[in-house]
Amino acid sequence: MGKRTGHPQGRTVTKINDGWKFLKLSQKDSLPGIVLEAADFDDSGLEEVSLPHTWNDIDGADGRSGRDKGGEDYYRGLGGYRKRIVFSGQEHGGKSVFIEFEGANTVTELFVNGTCAGRHEGGYAAFRFDITPFLCLGEENVLAVKVDNAPTDVIAPITDQGDFTKMGGIYRGVKLIAVPPVHIDLMDFGSSGIYVTPENIGEDHADLDIQVRLANDASEGQAAHVVLKIFDMDEKPVAQDEKDIFLPAGGKAAAGFAIPLENPVLWNGAENPYLYTAEIMVEAGDNEFDNLRQAFGIRTYHIDPENGFFLNGKYLDLRGVNYHQDSFENGWAMTDEQRGRDYRMIRAMGATSVRMAHYQHGSYEYELCDRLGLTVWTEIGIVNKMSADDSDAHAVAPGFADNAAQQLTELIRQNYNHPSVIVWGISNELFQMTDEIYRIFTGLYELAKKEDKTRLVTFADAQFWGRFLELPADVVGYNRYFGWYHDAGGAEQFGAWLDLYHETKERRPICVSEYGGGAAMSQYKDNVDWKTEIEPWGKRHYQNYQSAMHEAIWAQFAARRYLWGKYIWCMFDFASDGREEGDTRGQNDKGLVTRTRIPKDSFYFYKSVWNPEPMVHLTEKGFVLRPAAVPQVKAYANGERAELFVNGHSKGSIRCGGIDGMLPTVLIWKDVAIAAGTENEIVVKAFFADGSVLEDRAFWMGE
């Protein structure tokens, strides 16, 4: 059955990611009378797969049709999974058994031994089903799962909204959780059932309000004894309390604790991502118990409309990236190792924040951000539209509002204890507006404030006028692409536009939630003219233009303290099957890093201004065929000075203090001669205050 974790006498957690059979149900024409959920269905000939799994890892990123031919052509429909498993009477007898899906897109139906055990609508949150009534202990049981990622008008994001591939399948892991009849509630919107709220936080004291939600599956009322212990990061106990509580038959109750904590260590971002652990033990009946550990952090934050973001009373520059759950190896079916690699790259670049676009991400990502000290903007999947109706009425489908509220509740309850999470997002680039849509948005805002009184609520706006400026939110982000899309304006105009909105139009604190532009690894050109030579939706995506654009934009952002955050679109190129641009198909290429995790020059620019670790990077290494008179040679370095050498001969030294108004780390040597008709070695050496020297090199052929 897999690896077991947890206490052997109480809760057991068993991963069941191996040994599944899979069938894309569009193939059913070749299998007459197929009833995948039937217990006696012969699945011996089906494909064997392990979870996580998606059926769109290839066709969801191949761009075969292209935007000009109708866009996305990847499979959107039903897929079926089956697994046979034995539940032993010794291990599971007398216990309640739940199955947890960490994520499956978009609609999931579970059948146990041929009977429907549950249905979940929504592709991004974890969810559980109680399968106890359907099990045959001591015998083989058949789990059958139908997953459907067909477009829908009821579940956000609706229809085909959002510039990303919506990959189908059980694309995160699955586990079984067996607990005694009295246990921490497992049917609380997929949450841990434990909610830790630090209050009255000071330098030498904090109060912890801890709520433990309990459930009793027994046919009789039960008295439970709940023991709470708090451990510091060294696993030393720092506080303890216990409480008796009565749970009615088949009912639920909450045990509340008020824990004073002296001299708390604060979660302080990357400087000190300190975590505590709450351990809950629930005893009831004849020594039966449930046991669970929940990590949490203690911190305060606030956002000032003029001075930006403050963590624990001190200013923190929220410089960040947008990140999609997607990898070149297997699409959305990412492993934890792949996620860890990605977030370490984000942190190594010097980012202090991540916007998880455009839906709830897997629990491991939030845990990574807790440990790495990255602050998080996380959001639900309302992207562009609430209504598929393109008329002026914009009628919202029945059920949409309820499902959006479900997704928001899941997002908040499942991630409530992560100190990294600072804002809940409730939409991205909404461009429809009616009284009904305004009411739905307002309802979501009020729900977020009810579910969590400690965090701020936001959304990413791309409209900037009328009632969009009136939508309820504590803070707001702007998605703007100056220097890329031709209707936005040149990169140098970004700052003035922000000042206008900050000073005269926007009543809420603002950040830039998306900015950037595309870059093809194989494309370079000297002296690019943005208006005539950049094709945002086409082939010409010069890499050296992307880096120059980011340099110009960041210079403006760095001078505007009122921006509470700056989020690049995006960290990695990602699957967007309808695109065909630059030198890729089926991808959005605005990443600072390719989908195969190769950094572009712009990655190193941000590393030079965000991360104080000594570095030097010579740009345009791939621009190998150059004129004998190179218009400019550019490098990024954060030392005291840097010197350029061509074939061993110095072309001059530049102090890392900036020239011609450029940023201090952007170093440019103009009109550099290289030898024609032969290969030239180009070397940049950076010199640092401690006497160390770093160098980077390229080889260019002179024409």
Rounded to 5 degrees, what angle do the CA atoms 253, 254, 257 make? 155
Positions marked active-site: 429
b or e along 251-265 (b: 16 or more beta carbons within 10 Å of the residue's beta carbon)? eebebebebebeebb
**How high is the pLDDT of residue 88?**
86
Q: What average pLDDT does this structure show over 129-153?
A: 95
Is residue 358 reached through a cis peptide bond, with omega within 30 degrees of 0 on the bond before it? Answer: yes
Output the pLDDT for position 442.
Answer: 98
- CA-to-CA distance for 297 and 320, rounded, in angstroms? 21
The share of the chain scoring above pLDDT 70, in percent, equals: 95
pLDDT in tens, 500-538: 999 999 989 999 999 999 999 999 999 999 999 999 999
Count other C-beta atoms under 10 Å from residue 498's C-beta.
Answer: 22
Render pLDDT for 199-212 as a digit per residue (tens, 0 to 9). 999 989 999 999 99
| Residue 8 pLDDT grade (very low, low, confident, very high; cuts 50, 70, 90) | very low
What mean pLDDT do residues 439-443 have? 98
Residue 658 has pLDDT above 90, yes or no: no
Alpha helices in 87-191 (DSSP H): 89-92
User: What mean pLDDT do residues 421-428 have?
Assistant: 98
Report, in angstroms and rounded to the nearest whole number, the Rg of the chain calculated over CA atoms: 27
pLDDT of residue 663: 74
Instruction: Name the packing angle between helices 543-558 and 601-610 (round to 10°).
Output: 20
At residue 627, the pLDDT reads 93
pLDDT score for 402: 98
Mean pLDDT (the chain, rounded): 94
Cα–Cα distance list, 107 to 103, 169, 427, 485 (Å): 10, 10, 21, 35
d(CA 19, CA 505) in angstroms, rounded, equals: 57
DSSP3 helix / strand / coil % (the chain, rounded to 5) = 20, 40, 45
> How far from 612 is each of 19, 352, 555, 576, 592, CA to CA, in Å?
47, 13, 17, 34, 19
pLDDT at 26: 72
616-627: average pLDDT = 96
pLDDT attached to residue 63: 85
How far is residue 179 CA from its own chain's centroid?
Answer: 31
Give the pLDDT confidence score for residue 358 in this predicted structure.
96
pLDDT confidence of residue 393: 87
Is the full-model pTM beyond 0.85?
yes
What the chain holds in terms of domains, given with CATH numbers, is 4-180 (2.60.120.260), 194-296 (2.60.40.10), 625-702 (2.60.40.10)
Instruction: Please name the residues in contact with 133: beta carbons below 8 A apart, sequence gap of 6 or more.
Output: none
Q: Looking at residue 167, what is its pLDDT?
A: 97
State both tokens at 205: 């004291």
Is pLDDT above 70 for 159? yes
**Which of 5-9, 133-137, 379-383, 551-555 shows the lowest mean pLDDT across its residues?**
5-9
pLDDT digits (tens, 9 = 90+) for 250-261: 999 999 999 999
Sign of CA pseudo-dihedral 200, 201, 206, 212: positive
